[in-house]
Every structure is written in C-alpha cells, then in structure tokens.
Structure 1
Amino acid sequence: MTLQRSGVSGAYPVPAGVPAPVPLRDLPVVRDLRDRSRRAPRRLIFGQGDVVVVSGLPGSGKSTLIRRAAEGGGIDSQDTRDRWDRRMPRALPYAVYRPLVRLAHYAGLRRALRSGASVVVHDCGTQSWVRRWLAREARRRGRALHLVLLDVTPDLAREGQRERGRGVSGYAFARHRRAVSRLVHDAERGRLPSGCASATLLDRTAATALTRIGFDGVV
C-alpha cells in the first residue's frame, strides 16, 4: 500500500492489518470509504494550510457537503452563481453572464489561495487545469493538495439535479461522467492527479455521515 506524510486525523478507520492507532505519516494515499459495513467516519481533518478539492458529478452532493461540513464554508462556484442570479433580470439566460460568474469565482478563489488560508474548493471534475493550478498554489505555500471524490451513480446525480431544480444538458452531463469516471478509476488504482497528495472516495452514505471537513496544526 502506498503511504504518504499527510495531515489527516485519526478520524479515518484503521486500514486492515495495521494496528491502531495509525500514525499520521502512515495513512494511505487513497482512502476508500464507500460501501463500509462499519459506521462511516464523521470527520476528515487535514493539515493547516492544505487545499482540499471536492469533485463529483453535478447533483452528486458536492455543494451540500461543502455547506454542511467544510470549515470556513468552503469556496463553491454555485454560491457565486446564486449571488449573480439574484442581481440579474429573471428574463436574462444564465449563459449570457456565465463567463462573469466564472471570472468572479476564480478571482475569489485566487484571493483565498494567496491568503495562505486552508481552503475547501468545489470542483466539477472536468477542468484538469483547475486542479493543476490548485496543486501549484499548494506547493507554493509548502502544503498539500487533497482530493475528496463523491462517487454516486448517474441516476442519483440526476435525482439530485431535479431536487435542486437545476440540471445540466445531456452533452455536459456526459462530459462530467467521463471526467469523474476517469478520476474514480485512477484513484481506485492508486493513480492520483498530478500534484495531488491523497484521495478520499465517498459514496452517498459516507458523504452524508460527514459533519466536518477541517484542518488542524498537524503537518
């Protein structure tokens, strides 16, 4: 099993065959919390100053997880869109001002990264350049980038879109499916995106059990 030196708390279950407690430096790079027969952990704790990316299909529950559990509220592009939606005329299609929403989101993300604060970021999974940028910023501050990946079925994701009253086109959803499937497939085999120090795989049950994605002073 590949190991890493990572600021992640003992809230994780002990890997099979490893006596408890597990030293932080000996935790595995990939933690698969899907389909667990035991109670899922309630906290994911990373090192102070680290960057955490939450990825998954549209409707998989990324925004819900960040709002409920992310320390400091996290940075979610959906929040930026909601602010712009309230300011724009109802008759104006979102596609018209979408570039401005994205610009505002990335500007806010850049400010947060440059501040040196710990950051939890929403990521749709289709834009690898965003993860590369986050990895560079984490290295610049001498910290680590971590991936939290929500692995849910397309049907569950579509249901989530219906519940929030906001879906994506079939073309866009297919792009997301390909990108997220590739991330899950690679993580299952221990292959992480460039610059990423760890990956945590969650299904809907494990994501619902989480009450905190936070940071401490452990390095």
Structure 2
Amino acid sequence: MLTTTGTVAGVPAQRGAHERPARAGSTVVRDLRGRGAHGPRALDFADGDIVVVSGLPGGGKSTLIKRAAAGGIDSQDTRERWERRMPDALPYAVYRPLVRIAHYWGLWRVLRSGAPVVVHDCGTQRWVRALLAGFARRRDRALHLLLLDTSPQEALAGQEARGRRVSAYAFSRHRGAADRLLRDAESGSLPRGCASAVLLDRAAASRITRITFGPTPPTHTSTPAA
C-alpha cells in the first residue's frame, strides 16, 4: 500500500487531477507530474514492500535514491566500488559482468533478510522486475514502481553533470524501455505483479526527501479524474 504525504509528516497530500486508480481493485497509478511546488515531500510504503526506481540514465534515479532512501540499492554504487579497485587502464566493459553479479548478489541478500527495499532499475531488464514481483508475492508483500519521466535532453545533461555518458546504442535501448513503461503506466497497464506506480517529472522528484516504510497505511479510495 502506498500513500503520499506533504510537508507535514503523516498528513496525506490532496489527490490531484492527475492522480487516479488505474484499475479498480488491482493496480494504482499516481501521476505527480506537473505539480511544481505542490508535490508531496514523502512517499510511504508498507513494511517489507519493494520499490523499483526506473527511468533514463542521467534522469535522476541515483540522486533520488541517495537523497530519500537510506540503504537504497544502486547498481552505480557497486560500479564505483569496483572502479576504485581496478587499474585505470582497464575498460569497464571487461569487468562489467562481475559488477552485475555483485549488484544482484547484494540485492538478493537484502531481499532474503525481509527488509524493505528501494532498488535502482535500468528499465531494460524485464526479468529483474519479474523476479522482484515474484519474490514480493511469495512474501505477501507488494512491488511498486517509481517512474522518472525526464526528457532525453534532461537525461543527457544529467550524464554530462556526473561525467559519465552511455553509448548512443545503450541510450536508445534505455529510452525505448522507459517510454514503454511510461506509456503502459499512463494507460493503467503495469508489469505483472506490480501493485502501484508513481510517475514523477524532474520537479516532482526533486521535492521527494523521504521514501519510508512502516505499518500498512490506511487505504484511500477515490474515483478516476474526469
């Protein structure tokens, strides 16, 4: 179960025109794009839930996780740890498989512990989301998506700012995957096993300072916006 809270902790934000249930009785999509300064400060989930943060490379996923999710699992952190150990002359492509194994092993350990999880998702690995959904289902918990909707220009600028660009080919794959996820969420069709999605533009994401987990929050019902 997901709630959004405003600047006062525990006070639900007013549901806006873009916020709607996607399918009655199943998945929920909350669209927080376009709210500017009126977006929520926190996203609250139930204990043990899994939150996947997805979007374009350079779109702000790592920044959001570092700012709002203590203990979030970010593949970028794993890459940087390995880069510090490796010779500067050794291309990342050589040891990339080892980085991925280390990342997923760390994710698996946290999942097995039963702790709530916020995890970085590149968007192109559908099998990862499927495995997370299956794990959540077996533990009687929920899987949620946070989808960052940033333009290609914003994402490329973000890559420049962090000093790391992905190849044109890789960026095209990421863009296709992100576009599909957003289109599906906007139409109320989430990946199998996902309980909810939150759509964030750059402004809305920048306002989120806390992604928290606690006792199952109360259910808030509403009708779709006209």
Tell me the TM-score normalized by structure 1: 0.89
Whole-angstrom CA distance in 1 between matches of 2:174 and 2:82: 24
Whole-angstrom CA distance in 2 between matches of 1:123 and 1:134: 11
- 1:126 alignment partner, one of 121, 124, 127: 124
**Identity percentage of aligned residues:** 65
Q: Is the 8 A contact 1:33 1:40 kept in 2?
A: yes
Q: Which runs of 4+ in 1 moved over 6 A?
A: none
Give the number of aligned pairs: 206
> Per-residue deviation at 1:14?
2.9
Whole-angstrom CA distance in 1 between matches of 2:106 and 2:199: 27
Distance 1:9 1:39, change over 3 A: closer
What CA deviation, in whole Å up to 9, does each residue of 1:103-151 have, x standing for no partner? 0000000001111100000000011000001001111111000000000
What CA deviation, in whole Å up to 9, does each residue of 1:81-110 have, x standing for no partner? 000000000000000000000000000000
Match of 2:9 in 1: none
The RMSD of aligned alpha carbons is: 1.9
Match of 1:201 in 2: 199
Match of 2:164 in 1: 166
User: Partner of 2:35: helix, strand, or coil?
Assistant: coil
Match of 1:138 in 2: 136
Distance 1:131 1:27, change over 3 A: closer
Match of 2:221 in 1: none
Distance 1:41 1:117, change over 3 A: same
Match of 1:45 in 2: 44
Letter in 2 for 1:55: S
**1:80-119 counterparts in 2 under 5 A?**
80-119=78-117
Tell me the TM-score normalized by structure 2: 0.87
Whole-angstrom CA distance in 2 between matches of 1:100 and 1:148: 27
Letter in 1 for 2:15: P
Give unpaired runs (5+ residues) of structure 2: 7-11, 18-24, 218-226
Match of 1:22 in 2: none
Letter in 1 for 2:97: P
Letter in 2 for 1:129: W
Match of 2:15 in 1: 15
Distance 1:210 1:7, change over 3 A: closer
> Per-residue deviation at 1:73?
2.3
Give unpaired runs (5+ residues) of structure 1: 1-5, 18-25
Whole-angstrom CA distance in 1 between matches of 2:107 and 2:117: 9
User: Partner of 1:149: helix, strand, or coil?
Assistant: strand
Q: Is the 8 A contact 1:8 1:47 kept in 2?
A: no
> Per-residue deviation at 1:8?
2.7
